[in-house]
Amino acid sequence: MASLTSLDKALLNMMQSNFPLNMYPYKTMADKLGVTEEGIIARLEALKTAGIIRRVGAVLDARRLGFYSTLCAAKVAVDRIDEVAEIINSYDGVTHNYRRAHEYNLWFTLTAPSQGASRIIIDELIHKTGVNIVSMPALKTYKIKVALEMEGDDHNK
Amino acid sequence: MTIINDQDKAILRELQGDLPLEPRPFASVAARVGVSEEYLMQRINAMMDEGIIRRFAAILRHQKAGYTVNAMVAWKVEPEQVDRIGMKFAACEQVSHCYLREVPSDFDKNLFTMVHCRSEEELNLLVLNMSELLGLEDYSIISSEHEYKKTSMKYF
């Protein structure tokens, strides 16, 4: 996809912070941006096809739902890292998994229905991969922000 | 922790997916859950107020949105300084996440930030500025080399 137009940027900014929660959300955004509802829907289709928008929906608070999340890390021999990552990926509670430039070279997030359940999964992963996995749960959250300001946004200043 | 009834779970199950691209997207969601559109909107707003839904939004792929360089930066911060520094990091536009973590003894950097920039130079400069401004000398930039998985959690 070619670079984002100023309308795309305005739309993405709006959808990251102020998605209208009413019966006609696309119409509401179209009116604010001075374009048609069909135009908005077409742009969103394009942005999804291009992979810029992963999805539109709710982001739930794991803790409020009683779920337990933690960041895990492992030191994996380079020739085994793809295989180990694949075993880790097979768990639904693993949502992010990255190879990183550090002695701890594999980092993944794990969300489970409870702390005990996460411990069981981690022990199972240690057993299946033969690699030690450490858990680094958050003790305090200072920021969770996910909206990224798109530059050159003339529509929405 | 909040106890969620089965109907709200059914609503959340739909909303953790992708909202349909049609003029009345919530009407389709409501039909699948078996409630009215008005009631669905009411429940969504109520669950946002309760904090069960943290936000309702477009989730972007950062790299494709122009934020090509992301790094996890872990900082060693003295316990009595953590709140002050954590709040400073939180105020920084390019920092998307900041957590104090329980860390193993062979990893002594306890304050984690996720930093998003448009170039390697911007990132290095930002981290250097953060380090100098806050007097934090001991840190690691732990950049990602390969994405094995990135999805959204399906809770129900």
* Domains with residue ranges and CATH for chain B: 6-49 (no CATH), 69-143 (3.30.70.3460)
Mark which residues 108-127 of A lie under 8 Å from B by CB: 108, 111
Q: What is the pLDDT of residue A148?
A: 65
CB pairs under 8 A between A and B: 231
pLDDT tens per residue, range A35-85: 999 999 999 999 999 999 999 999 999 889 989 999 999 999 999 999 999
pLDDT tens per residue, range B6-28: 999 999 999 999 999 999 999 99
Residue B23 near residue A29 (C-beta atoms within 8 A): no
Residue with the two structure tokens 């400069």: B125
Domain CATH code at residue A73? 3.30.70.3460
Q: Does residue A60 belong to any structural domain of this protein?
A: no
Q: Is A49 on the interface with B (CB under 8 A)?
A: no
The predicted model gives A74-99 an average pLDDT of: 97
Are A111 and A72 part of one and the same domain? yes
pLDDT tops 90 at residue B51:
yes
| Closest by CA position to B110, among listed B92, B143, B129, B136 | B136
Identify the three-state secondary structure at position A105. coil
Are A74 and A131 part of one and the same domain? yes
> Residues near A6 by Cβ (< 8 Å), separated by ≥ 6?
A152, A153, A154, A155
- What total of structural domains would you count in chain A? 2
Q: pLDDT confidence of A153, banded at 50, 70, 90?
A: very low
Please give the angle made by the CA atoms of B10, B46 and A10, to the nearest 5 degrees: 95
Greater pLDDT, B15 or A17: B15
Residue in chain A lying closest to B151 (CA): A95
Residue A22: give the domain boundaries.
Answer: 6-49
Q: Given its phi and psi angles, is residue B135 left (phi above 0), alpha (psi -120 to 50 degrees) or beta?
A: left
| Alpha-carbon gap: A25 to the closest alpha carbon of chain B (Å) | 8
Q: Does residue A141 belong to any structural domain of this protein?
A: no
Q: What is the pLDDT of residue A143?
A: 92
Distance CA A81, CA A137 (A): 23
Are A78 and A113 part of one and the same domain? yes
Q: Is A20 on the interface with B (CB under 8 A)?
A: no
Are A72 and A132 part of one and the same domain? yes
CA B40 to chain centre: 25
Edge-first strand order for the sheet with A138-144 is A133-136, A68-74, A106-112, A94-100, B139-150, B69-75, B111-117, B95-101, A138-144
Are A127 and A72 part of one and the same domain? yes
Q: Is A92 on the interface with B (CB under 8 A)?
A: yes
Residue in chain B lying closest to A17 (CA): B57
